[in-house]
Amino acid sequence: MNEVVSKAADWMGAARQLQPATVALRRAIHAEPELGLQTPKTIAKVKASLADLPLEWKSGPSTTGAVAVLRGARPGRTVLLRGDMDALPMPEDTDLPFRSTVAGVMHACGHDTHTAMLASAARALSARCDAIAGTVLFMFQPGEEGHHGARFMLDDGLFDDPAPEAAFALHIMPNALAGTFQSKAGPLLASADKLMVSVRGRGGHASMPHHAIDPVPVACEIVTAIQVFVTRRIDIFDPVVVTIAKIDGGSTNNVIPEVAHLLGTIRTLSQASREAACTGITRVAERIAQAHECEAQVTIERGFPVTHCDARAVRVAERAIGELFGAGAWSTMASPIMGAEDFSYVLQRVPGAMLFLGVCPEGQPWKTACPCHSNKMTLNENTLALGVAAHCAVAERFLGRGFEGWVPRGLRGRFETRLAPRPDESMGARRYLPRVRLGRGRPTPAAHETVLFDHPVGAQQAGLRNRQVELSGSPEIDDEIELHRQLDR
Ligand SMILES: [Zn+2]
Ligand SMILES: [Zn+2]
């Protein structure tokens, strides 16, 4: 893209012009929500709204998902932008004039807005396609709410050719200041597995438990033992959340039932803790049952994997959004959220990031606004223009520069670094973390330094502003370092 169109303000101007169309599409989708992997009316609305554009459409046999391919005037990189299309099986209790007309189905997770923002981004980027080098893939996916829509689209081969080199998705968040963006490198959202335990004993008279084998107290013991297992056997810095959300057994007050059932969810932030949790919970449940002469059958239904954001992609987004709206619009999340996302499947294959867009309704405090999945969730539609512009700016930045500013693996030599102290939210508001930090992998001793200062001036006085680092071996650099100038070769 050339200098003229790459100005950040252009994307906001384009998004503002498209705002009536964005809102109209969002409201049309909201009024007619669809569930699961089949969202034919929604994708039809999207395609109709983009029918005049030079997009190639691809779809597969497994879902109604579709990919719109925008080819720029010149060859280049390929970037994927995602919007999800499905709603939730729940009643809508808002008084919006465009509220759901389908009983028991509601767009309570904002996927109507994601789809509408992505469609407008496709229009804005198409308008500038003469200036684009590379390809943009707009992924309209159904089945995010637990139906593995993204995995089906990947398995259908919709992203094999051209294959994306980076992927980005936006998710609205009513519990965040309207117009702010946030994300973080590494795990952003958890894996989500469904846990089912059946504890089988032997039924009998409630007054003579010794003649029966009562599965109810055994099931209760398993519930508490799982919590003991999680806190005692799992590394607290690789957290796991297990919630038993449903206990079920028995029919009346004077009968010991044959079976008791537990139903719950297992959330983790790494594959290692996920496996440890699944194995450990199975062991604990089976052996507690065994100790009481019961039998536990443990079934774990694997759900979405961990949503892992690539640090380079997060930085691409942070910079693009910083240029659009100023640094104040961006915040780096101090910790992940234990919710889960289907976009995790995309991020398993393609480096990328999911970003949250604050959409708190006007006049409401963001902390107490009705969250996603609430039957009363509403949002500030003015923020949709910001999301459209953010999609465009992030795609443009990646197409233009790739993961620039990152040290390629295997780079050697002596470099001068540029130190840009910034608040480190995880450590409290008043500490500053210089951007000279090589994390995982094999950092060189000179560069493997994370120094915390109470004030940015402290970092400057310590002479870290333009320090030299030497990279040798094959550093695998996952964290930030800005190499200002190479000093030798
Ligand atoms: Zn949701
Ligand atoms: Zn969602």
pLDDT in tens, 155-209: 999 999 999 999 999 999 999 999 999 999 999 999 999 999 999 999 999 999 9
Instruction: Identify the pLDDT of residue 486.
Output: 52
- What six digits make up the tokens of 385? 């223009």
Ligand nearest the Cα of residue 115 is 2
Other residues' Cβ atoms within 10 Å of the Cβ of residue 140: 29
Tens digit of pLDDT for each residue in 355-388?
999 999 999 999 999 999 999 999 999 999 999 9
Ligand nearest the Cα of residue 343 is 2
| pLDDT beyond 60 at 103 | yes
Task: Compute the distance from residue 113 Cα to the ligand 1 centre, in Å.
Answer: 12
Phi first, then psi, for residue 310 (nearest 5°) are: -75, 130
Q: Under a CB-based contact definition with an 8 Å cutoff, are residues 476 and 442 in contact? A: yes
CA dihedral 470, 472, 476, 482 (to 10 degrees): 20
Instruction: Identify the pLDDT of residue 443.
Output: 36
How many residues are listed for the chain in this entry? Answer: 489
Task: Compute the distance from residue 276 Cα to the ligand 1 centre, in Å.
Answer: 26
Other residues' Cβ atoms within 10 Å of the Cβ of residue 291: 10
For the entire predicted model, the pTM comes to 0.81
Q: Which pLDDT band, with edges at 50, 70 and 90, does 415 fall under?
A: low
Cα–Cα distance measured from residue 115 to residue 119, given in angstroms and rounded to the nearest whole number: 6
Of residues 342, 396, 316, 300, the one with CA closest to residue 83: 342
Tens digit of pLDDT for each residue in 252-277?
999 999 999 999 999 999 999 999 99
Is 405 or 64 the better-scoring residue by pLDDT? 64
Q: Under a CB-based contact definition with an 8 Å cutoff, are residues 170 and 355 in contact? A: yes
Query: What percent of the chain clears pLDDT 90, i.e. is strictly above it?
Result: 78
The pairing of beta strand 413-417 with beta strand 468-471 = antiparallel
Is the bond preceding residue 475 a cis peptide, omega within 30 degrees?
Answer: no
Quick one: three-class SS letters along 77-138? EEEEEEEECCCECCCCCCCCCCCCCCCCCECCCCHHHHHHHHHHHHHHHHHCHHHCEEEEEE
Instruction: Identify the pLDDT of residue 403.
Output: 80
Task: Compute the distance from residue 97 Cα to the ligand 1 centre, in Å.
Answer: 22
| pLDDT beyond 80 at 299 | yes
Q: Under a CB-based contact definition with an 8 Å cutoff, are residues 394 and 167 in contact? A: no
Per-residue DSSP letter, 265: E
Cα–Cα distance measured from residue 234 to residue 267, given in angstroms and rounded to the nearest whole number: 12
Phi first, then psi, for residue 177 (nearest 5°) are: -50, 135
Give SS3 for 281.
Answer: helix
14-23, 452-461, 480-489: which is most confident = 14-23
Ligand nearest the Cα of residue 373 is 1
Give SS3 for 234.
Answer: coil
Average of per-residue pLDDT values in the chain: 86
Task: Compute the distance from residue 108 Cα to the ligand 1 centre, in Å.
Answer: 7
Cα–Cα distance measured from residue 37 to residue 153, given in angstroms and rounded to the nearest whole number: 10
| pLDDT beyond 80 at 406 | no
Cα–Cα distance measured from residue 67 to residue 50, given in angstroms and rounded to the nearest whole number: 12
Burial code (b: 16+ CB inside 10 Å, e: under 16) for 70-100 equals: bbbeeebbbbbbbbbbbbbeeebebeeebbb
| pLDDT beyond 90 at 436 | no
Ligand nearest the Cα of residue 111 is 2
Average pLDDT over residues 334-341: 96
Is 229 or 478 the better-scoring residue by pLDDT? 229
Ligand nearest the Cα of residue 171 is 2
Q: Under a CB-based contact definition with an 8 Å cutoff, are residues 270 and 187 in contact? A: yes
Task: Compute the distance from residue 372 Cα to the ligand 1 centre, in Å.
Answer: 7
Tens digit of pLDDT for each residue in 4-47?
334 444 899 999 999 999 999 999 999 999 999 999 999 999 99
Is 484 or 348 the better-scoring residue by pLDDT? 348
Q: Under a CB-based contact definition with an 8 Å cutoff, are residues 388 and 121 in contact? A: yes
Instruction: Identify the pLDDT of residue 405.
Output: 52
Q: Which residues lie closer than 8 Å to 256 by C-beta, 6 or more apart?
A: 201, 202, 203, 204, 205, 206, 209, 212, 214, 216, 250
| pLDDT beyond 90 at 230 | yes
Phi first, then psi, for residue 52 (nearest 5°) are: -85, 5
Q: Under a CB-based contact definition with an 8 Å cutoff, are residues 202 and 258 in contact? A: yes
Structural domains of the chain, ranges and CATH numbers in brackets? 8-188+306-401 (3.40.630.10), 191-301 (3.30.70.360), 413-486 (no CATH)
Give SS3 for 412.
Answer: coil
- What six digits make up the tokens of 334? 């101090």
Other residues' Cβ atoms within 10 Å of the Cβ of residue 455: 12
Please identify every residue whose CB atom is under 5 Å from ligand 1, which is an ion.
109
Q: Which residues lie closer than 8 Å to 477 by C-beta, 6 or more apart?
A: 406, 407, 409, 438, 439, 441, 443
Q: Under a CB-based contact definition with an 8 Å cutoff, are residues 262 and 284 in contact? A: no
Tens digit of pLDDT for each residue in 40-70?
999 999 999 999 999 999 999 999 999 999 9
Give SS3 for 70.
Answer: strand
Instruction: Identify the pLDDT of residue 400.
Output: 86
Task: Compute the distance from residue 145 Cα to the ligand 1 centre, in Å.
Answer: 6
Instruction: Identify the pLDDT of residue 123.
Output: 98
